Amino acid sequence: MKYFSQFMLLLIAVAILLGLQYQYWMGKSGRANLETLQVELEQQKQRNDQKMDENKVLLADVNDLKNGLEAVEEHARLDLGLIKPGETFVQLSTAAVTHSSQPTAPINPEDMIESVPE
């Protein structure tokens, strides 16, 4: 009987150890998900760095708008199309222009009619 209780105690200890190992390797927050979580962490760090850079640009823009009239004037000109009194507004087209090196002659409709031999 003495050995039986020790054997049962050993089985219980092994069962607890196996249960803990299962939780460690296969559980919700176990070792198997570690690589996935590390990849997600790196992606989130990259997004955070990108947002920090965007915030720095916006903060610099806010400081320019608070401290100087040049930034306000620049935004008015670019975003709203405003011009100062006495200025001339010139708009340039960025559309592609095609030119032919051959002068074009007017088309005579009679030249397009072919005579049919009889």
Per-residue pLDDT reduced to its tens digit, 19-70:
888 888 777 777 878 888 899 999 999 999 999 999 999 998 888 888 878 8
Helix (H) or strand (E) holding 35: helix 34-67
Q: What is the CB neighbour count within 10 angstroms for residue 65?
A: 14
The Cα–Cα gap between 51 and 57 comes to: 10
The Cα–Cα gap between 71 and 114 comes to: 68
Q: What are phi and psi of 54, to 5 degrees?
A: -65, -40
Q: What is the pLDDT of residue 81?
A: 79
Q: What is the pLDDT of residue 14?
A: 93
